[in-house]
Amino acid sequence: MSNAAALPGQPRGAVLSGPATARAVNVLAPNASPMTLDGTNTWIVAEPDSDLAVVIDPGPLDDTHLRAVIDVAERAGRRIALTLLTHGHPDHAEGAARFAELTRTKVRALDPALRLGDEGLTAGDVITTGGLELRVVPTPGHTADSLSFHLPADRAVLTGDTILGRGTTVVAHPDGRLGDYLDSLRRLRSLTVDDGVHTVLPGHGPVLDDAQGAVEFYLAHRAHRLAQVETAVEAGHRTASAVVAQVYADVDRSLWPAAELSVLAQLEYLGEHGLI
């Protein structure tokens, strides 16, 4: 058995539905897979003394899950007043329209195509529903529309797929861009250094209690992978599939298609910086 405290980010262990911080409660969606890990974490966020709650990433279009999220909030004496999206991938956002119908809430997102209502989300926005303070942090890279949400009162950040509770994130070409992703990781590192953030509430996987350690691990991992890809190209592996076979040989082959998209993003980055 591994020691969670010795793993990157200090994961708490099993992914469970329930309270994660004083203001954040997880409801785990039943959509586990190699790409979604244990399933999508749907987050209910509220001030402890408030009867209003915000939901982040309703998850897949699964009525049982969506109604479970509502039930958890109502059993805590809260009404869901707003829905937010970290990004538009179906495992996070497919259920948003149905959830909005069930809760009669607006859906706010960076991508206008995902919004229900007049308001979107932009860098620097602060959500204040029910006295909550939830700051919008732009974290593109995994997707162009990826956002994170800083929860200062809990010294936490909700990262969607930008940082996972286990493993690392795919930066899938062409929507994902590695340069943007590295900038986003540095932005999150600044939250840990300058704003005292220590907890990561991810879109998949367990809660991380060492946010700075997680970010540093991600940055080191990306640097290592880039060096491996650069070496593979120099050795004559010119296509993304050939690079994957060389660099990701130790990765489950079911994940190679995703790895190939990630390699395309890495090759683009290396080319833009004149490294290949």
pLDDT exceeds cutoff 80 at 6: no
Question: What pLDDT, in 10s, does the model give residues 58-106?
Answer: 999 999 999 999 999 999 999 999 999 999 999 999 999 999 999 999 9
Q: How much is the pLDDT for 3? A: 62
What mean pLDDT is reported for the chain? Answer: 96
- Which residues lie below 8 Å from residue 20, measured CB to CB, with a gap of 6+? 26, 199, 201, 207
Determine the pLDDT at residue 49.
Answer: 96
Decide if pLDDT at 142 tops 70. Answer: yes
Pair 83, 96: CB distance under 8 Å? yes
Residue 243 has pLDDT above 90, yes or no: yes
Distance, first Cα to last Cα, the chain: 41
Question: Which residues pair with residue 41 across a beta bridge?
Answer: 28
Residue 1 reports pLDDT greater than 60: no
Average pLDDT over residues 252-261: 92
Helix H or strand E encompassing 52: strand 52-56
Q: pLDDT of 173-213, one tens digit each?
A: 999 999 999 999 999 999 999 999 999 999 999 999 999 99
Residue 139 has pLDDT above 80, yes or no: yes
For the chain, percent of residues with pLDDT exceeding 90: 92
Cα–Cα separations (whole angstroms), residue 47 to 21, 29, 128, 150: 11, 23, 10, 14
CB–CB of 160/146 below 8 Å? yes
With a cut of 80, say whether residue 2 has pLDDT above it: no
Bridge partner residues of 42 (DSSP): 27
Residue 60: both structure tokens together: 């897949």
Q: What is the pLDDT of residue 276?
A: 84
**Identity of the residue numbered 158:** L
pLDDT at 238: 87
Query: Tens of pLDDT along 221-236?
Result: 999 999 999 999 999 9
For residue range 12-61, list pLDDT tens digits in order: 989 999 999 999 999 999 999 999 999 999 999 999 999 999 999 999 99
